[in-house]
Structure 1
Amino acid sequence: MNTKMKVTASHWVLVAALLFAGYACYLLVEPYINSIVMAFIISLLMFPIHERLEKWLPNAQNTVSLLSCIILTFIIVMPLLLVFSAIVQQGSVFSQNLYSWVTEGGIQTLFAHPLITNGLAFVNDYLPFDAIDPQDIAQKAAQFATSLGSNLVAISAKILGDATNFLINFFLMLFVLFFLLRDHDKLIAAMRHILPLSRSQEDRLLLEIENVSKSAVMGSFLTAIAQGVAGGFGMWLAGFPGLFWGTMMGFASFIPVVGTALIWIPATVYLLISGDTPWAIFLAIWSVAVVGSIDNVLRPLLMQGSAGMNTLMIFFSLLGGIHLFGLMGLIYGPLIFAITMVLFNMYEEEFKDFLDSQDNS
């Protein structure tokens, strides 16, 4: 059967109009694209649970999809609310202690420490920076402590606004997730019908999108959770509020190159200056050996096998993804890399004879 068709001018006009209309639709949903993408990815993660519910209620697709969304809500929202309330409590205590420390002369005591004095002398003598005056820093710290109350109000308002946006985006994601779970088979069939690829190529492309989406979520977010738990435990042993700083380390783990060092290095320096040298050594060793090894071992392990991406490609896909898309780049970056590699493999297979002849010419 001959599947070739003659391409006419009307076909090109139709394709151009379709592209223009598709771009216009993208502009309409662009403010909500992250919620849509997360709904798609979570639908892949939730589908095993959804399938099991479908076996129990085979003729109630709407009810099954609603149950899946309710289960997801309890899995995500309830633990987040408990953790958030504990973080706010520990963060409030930390802010009060910081205010008391600064106003009671702690900053002057800090700059009088020999390590700080010698370090500032070295910086001022050998590095090409403007001279650092401890008195200026102490004065700015005192000003910050004085305005800490108003700053906390502003920060609290921002946190409340972010929490509200999170809830709005979360319920929007649930709305999209409901339809993705309910109409999963129809959506996949429509996608297969539209794509001008063979069935085997469609299978490879869809399977790779599914694998990379799952591995990006598992690799990034599970690694952040594991580093936050391990880092928070180490900080708690060293005398810091464990849940608060563990959460901060979890967020810091998303930052390429620097990562959790943004938290544990200042904490280690603080312990050294305050005279808790054994705990400073412990925290440094724990952070490097345990927390750091989680990022070096767990993340590549969870993200391996996606279109043959090696560790270097995973690193640049995460780095570039965060640069272009923010936090969602942890998913978009690996996904773009993986799809590109699958398309290159398809290209190599389709044009194998031509490429071989080029190599031999």
Structure 2
Amino acid sequence: MIKILERQTFLIALTFVTGLFLFLLKPFFAPILWACIIAILFHPVQLWLKKKLGEQPNLIALITLIACIFLVVIPFLLLLTSFFQQGSALYQRIASGEIQLAQYFDQIRRAFPVMQQFLERMDIDIASLQKNATEVMVGIGSFLTQNAVALGIGTFNFFTKLALMLYIAFFLLRDGRQLIEKLIYVIPMGDERERLLFQNIAGVARATVKGNLLVAMLQGTLGGLIFWILGIPSPLLWGVIMAIFSMIPVIGAGLVWVPAAIYLYTITQWFEATVLIAYGVFIIGLADNVLRPILVGRDTKLPDWMVLLSTLGGLTLIGVNGFVVGPLIAVLFVAFWQIFGKDFNVGKYAYQDSNSEIETNAEDSIKSKPGKQL
């Protein structure tokens, strides 16, 4: 009785301390998440380096991390810098009156009276919508220009978390295999189940990040290219925005190029608007409808509707990190139920297998006696 009480007390204390430690790590959720993703994505590079250099874990982890910095981190920072530069330039044009959002709304309303009637039927006030859009654009730019100190602190926090992510990634690249083996040893769910779960987690993280990022980069590049060809201002800015929106399956980059095409129609640029719509449907949309199921759905072994719902749910709950966490939760949900079905329906499966074996033997017996076939 005393041993049972001691074990229960220890388990309660273990749960409390673990929860407290996870709560302590909550502010660093994003750096830890992306450090794990780096370790998963660049694991093949590690294996290749291991064949070339032998057992040198520190050197291999360092070379892999340097490759990650040059292939991913530096291009991302350059793109982010250009994004803010074009965003600031766009705000300056709005603040100076060179770009008047109210005029754009009026042109769209005059060119598409059906749209105005639809909005009125939906009890959407066009004037308030126009005012809110203007205030949002001006507010964003005002925040960036008037809160330089806060922006500087935010930049400092960003680079601090970036450095923390790279620091954690180095140790995960070096000691990740041993860490997984220790987790398999201490988690009391059965080694086979745990290995299956870790394989599913690694597979879905690799497929989700690789697939979504490739699709986002491709759609953003294609969208920015057509904006540049058609002479739409700030093509790099809109290309990055399309890449961000493309994280949302189905809807994606259409949130940018569809309004742009509508506006081109309102200013009677019929050819450019038609080209943009055709390009958006058959080129930008094709990348989403063809590549995403191949790169994401196939490797995660999830149906398209579950990928969509889990991605949207993750983005809604925890922001941009949700496009990875959402599908991870979905694949764990499926994996746990598959394990449950396999472990708790053994007798049912055995009965079905025996029946199928009996039916097969019966069919073979009937085929061997043609005279008695029904």
Normalised by the size of structure 1, how large is the TM-score? 0.83
Asked if the contact 1:111–1:117 (Cα under 8 Å) also holds between the matched residues in 2, the reply is: no
1:64-94 per-residue CA deviation (whole Å, 9 max, x = no partner) reads 3222222211222321233234334433443
Asked if the contact 1:306–1:338 (Cα under 8 Å) also holds between the matched residues in 2, the reply is: no
- Structure 1 pair 91–315 and aligned structure 2 pair: CA distance change class (3 A): same
Aligned residue for 2:197, secondary structure, equals: helix
The whole-number CA distance in structure 2 between the counterparts of 1:267 and 1:20 is: 53
Task: Find out whether 1:206 has 2:190 as its counterpart.
Answer: no
Task: Find out whether 1:230 has 2:222 as its counterpart.
Answer: yes
- Structure 1 pair 301–279 and aligned structure 2 pair: CA distance change class (3 A): same
Instruction: Give the match for residue 295 of structure 2.
Output: 302
Task: Find out whether 1:283 has 2:283 as its counterpart.
Answer: no
Instruction: Give the match for residue 251 of structure 1.
Output: 244
- The match for 1:270 among 234, 259, 263 is 263
Instruction: Give the match for residue 14 of structure 1.
Output: 10
- Structure 1 pair 82–225 and aligned structure 2 pair: CA distance change class (3 A): same
1:174-207 per-residue CA deviation (whole Å, 9 max, x = no partner) reads 1111111111232122112112244432332221
Aligned residue for 2:252, secondary structure, equals: coil
- The match for 2:42 among 41, 46, 50 is 46
Instruction: Give the match for residue 127 of structure 1.
Output: 121
More displaced stretch, 349-358 vs 244-253: 349-358
* Corresponding pairs, count: 349
1:244-278 per-residue CA deviation (whole Å, 9 max, x = no partner) reads 21111111222455422221122112212222110
Identical columns (%):
29
Asked if the contact 2:250–2:289 (Cα under 8 Å) also holds between the matched residues in 1, the reply is: no
Q: CA RMSD in A?
A: 3.4
Aligned residue for 1:8, secondary structure, equals: helix
More displaced stretch, 37-46 vs 267-276: 267-276
Instruction: Give the match for residue 182 of structure 2.
Output: 190
Aligned residue for 1:129, secondary structure, equals: coil
Matches within 5 A, 1:152-191: 152-154=144-146, 160-191=152-183
- Structure 1 pair 315–344 and aligned structure 2 pair: CA distance change class (3 A): same
- The match for 1:347 among 340, 352, 362 is 340
Instruction: Give the match for residue 308 of structure 2.
Output: 315
Q: CA deviation at 1:331?
A: 0.9
The whole-number CA distance in structure 1 between the counterparts of 2:141 and 2:94 is: 12
The whole-number CA distance in structure 1 between the counterparts of 2:320 and 2:108 is: 39
Aligned AA (1:271): L
The whole-number CA distance in structure 2 between the counterparts of 1:161 and 1:189 is: 39
Instruction: Give the match for residue 3 of structure 1.
Output: none
- The match for 1:61 among 44, 48, 57 is 57
Instruction: Give the match for residue 83 of structure 2.
Output: 87
The whole-number CA distance in structure 2 between the counterparts of 1:60 and 1:356 is: 47
More displaced stretch, 158-167 vs 252-261: 158-167
Give unmatched runs, 5+ long, in structure 1.
1-6
Aligned AA (1:253): S
Instruction: Give the match for residue 23 of structure 1.
Output: 19
Asked if the contact 2:88–2:141 (Cα under 8 Å) also holds between the matched residues in 1, the reply is: no
Aligned AA (1:122): Q
1:23-79 per-residue CA deviation (whole Å, 9 max, x = no partner) reads 011011111122112111110111122233334443542233222222211222321
Normalised by the size of structure 2, how large is the TM-score? 0.80
More displaced stretch, 211-220 vs 73-82: 73-82
- Structure 1 pair 352–283 and aligned structure 2 pair: CA distance change class (3 A): same
The whole-number CA distance in structure 2 between the counterparts of 1:139 and 1:47 is: 47
Give unmatched runs, 5+ long, in structure 2.
353-374
The whole-number CA distance in structure 1 between the counterparts of 2:185 and 2:138 is: 65
Q: CA deviation at 1:325?
A: 1.6
The whole-number CA distance in structure 2 between the counterparts of 1:103 and 1:322 is: 35
Q: CA deviation at 1:8?
A: 3.1
The whole-number CA distance in structure 2 between the counterparts of 1:174 and 1:67 is: 12
